[in-house]
Amino acid sequence: MGFILYLQIANIAVHFLLKFGKQKVTAIIHRFTYRATSNPKNIVIIGGSFSGMQLARLLSTSIPTGYKVTLVEQNTHMHYCFAFPRFSVLSGHDYKAFIPYEGLLIRAPKGAISIVNEKAINIHEDHMELTSDEKISYEYLVIATGVSQPAPARLSATDKIGGESELRSYQKDIHASSRIAVVGGGAVGVELATDIKSFLPDRLLVRFGPQLHEAAYKRLQDLGVKVYFNERPSLPDSKPFMPSETEILFKNGQVETFDLVISCIGQSPNSSPLRTLLPHAITEDGFIRVESTLQVKAENEDCRNIFAIGDVAATDGPKMAFAGMAQAEVACSNILTLIRGKQNTLQRYIPNFIEGKTKLTLGKDRGVFFMENEKDYILKVLNYDSPDIDAKKVWKFFGVDMKGWKN
| Rounded Cα gap, residues 372 and 197, in angstroms | 29
User: Mean pLDDT over residues 121-135, rounded?
Assistant: 96
Give the pLDDT confidence score for residue 4 in this predicted structure.
66
pTM metric for this prediction: 0.90
| DSSP per-residue letters across 131-151 | TTS-EEE-SEEEE---EE--T
pLDDT range class, residue 207, cuts 50, 70, 90: very low
- pLDDT tens readout for residues 147-160: 999 889 999 999 99
Contacts of 56 (CB under 8 A, 6+ apart): 45, 48, 69, 71, 104, 113
For the chain, which domains are there?
3-151+267-355 (3.50.50.60)
- Residues 140 and 155: beta-carbon distance below 8 Å: no
- Residues 77 and 101: beta-carbon distance below 8 Å: yes
Give the pLDDT confidence score for residue 384 in this predicted structure.
77
- The DSSP secondary-structure symbol of 64 reads P
| Rounded Cα gap, residues 304 and 16, in angstroms | 29
User: Mean pLDDT over residues 272-278, rounded?
Assistant: 96
Question: For all residues of the chain together, what is the average pLDDT?
Answer: 88
- pLDDT tens readout for residues 298-325: 988 889 999 999 999 999 999 999 999 9
| Rounded Cα gap, residues 39 and 240, in angstroms | 46
Pick from 14-18, 273-277, 278-282, 292-296: least confident:
14-18
Give the pLDDT confidence score for residue 226 in this predicted structure.
80
Residue 232: closest CA among 179, 178, 186: 186
- pLDDT tens readout for residues 349-368: 999 888 888 888 888 888 88
Q: Which residues pair with residue 70 across a beta bridge?
A: 44, 114
Instruction: Please report, as a single letter, which amino acid is at residue 385.
Output: D
Contacts of 137 (CB under 8 A, 6+ apart): 42, 126, 127
Give the pLDDT confidence score for residue 5 in this predicted structure.
67
| Rounded Cα gap, residues 126 and 384, in angstroms | 48
**Helix residue spans in 35-113 (DSSP H):** 50-60, 84-87, 102-107
Residue 258: closest CA among 190, 197, 177, 152: 177
| Rounded Cα gap, residues 48 and 143, in angstroms | 10
Give the pLDDT confidence score for residue 3 in this predicted structure.
62
pLDDT at 71 over 90: yes
- The DSSP secondary-structure symbol of 114 reads E
- Residues 187 and 264: beta-carbon distance below 8 Å: no
pLDDT at 200 over 50: no
